[in-house]
Amino acid sequence: MKKNAEMVTIAIDIPTEDYNKLKALAASRKLLIEELIRERLAEHLWVPNEETLQAMQEVEDRKDLIHAKDADDLFNKLNSLS
């Protein structure tokens, strides 16, 4: 969320059971319910740019993947590409 963004208040009706689950999830993450909702909403409103869409498609198509046996091997292989 942008700092100093203009805010509006919304009200929604949800089943008590869902509210209790939301409250428990927020508490487990040490967040306010509104913070958890904003976080989740941001995930659904995010629209990737063209470069990101292309990168996501390449991963889905398994194009130019780098295979490594562990993290050190991966970073060594990535460093050798530069």
| Residue 1's CATH number | 1.10.1220
40 and 7: one domain?
yes
Domain count for the chain, please give it: 2
Rounded Cα distance between 34 and 54, Å, is 33
Global pTM reads 0.55
Q: Which residue has the tokens 């991966």?
A: 74
DSSP H or E run through 20: helix 16-28
Same domain, 39 and 71: no
Same domain, 34 and 60: no
Print the domain residue range for 38: 1-46
Residues 20, 32 share a domain: yes
Render pLDDT for 5-31 as a digit per residue (tens, 0 to 9).
899 999 999 999 999 999 999 999 999
Confidence class of residue 81 from pLDDT cuts 50, 70 and 90? confident
Cα distance between residue 55 and residue 57, in whole Å: 5
